[in-house]
Amino acid sequence: MTDNPDHADHDGHADHIEPPESVPPVSAEPVDPAEPRRYPSTIGGAFYLLVLGAVAVSMVVVALDEWRTGIRLMGGSLIVAAAVRLVLRHRDAGMLAVRHKLLDAAVLIVLGGSLIFLAGSIPDQPGF
């Protein structure tokens, strides 16, 4: 019998807790090895690729001398990523999930909002 009541049941027997090594890993790999893996394997992964594509397009817009529009597009895509992160469960979030759901969304909202704010608040410079 253990001295710690948290580790004993009502009969005085110690609870058996499985070590992490004995818990099978969860994977997005298909159960059937003959079945090809689908990419992306989560809906969040698909949204991640869409946000990445939007950021790439916004960089092209910036390179074409429409920097305000490009930066606003980039900020907007980060805010969309935050909204998607808030809606999806952790297991469906894919690459959008880095930390806790609220922290991920807060970081994306702050970055996206900051980009949009800065694009609108920087005054035009003569000769540009």
Q: How confident is the model at residue 33 (pLDDT cuts 50, 70, 90)?
A: low
Q: How confident is the model at residue 104 (pLDDT cuts 50, 70, 90)?
A: very high
pTM for the model stands at 0.67
**Long-range contacts at 66-71 (CB < 8 A, ≥ 24 apart):** 67/119, 68/119, 68/120, 71/115, 71/116, 71/118, 71/119
H-state helical runs in 1-128: 43-63, 67-87, 101-121
pLDDT one-digit tens code per residue, 45-54: 889 999 999 9
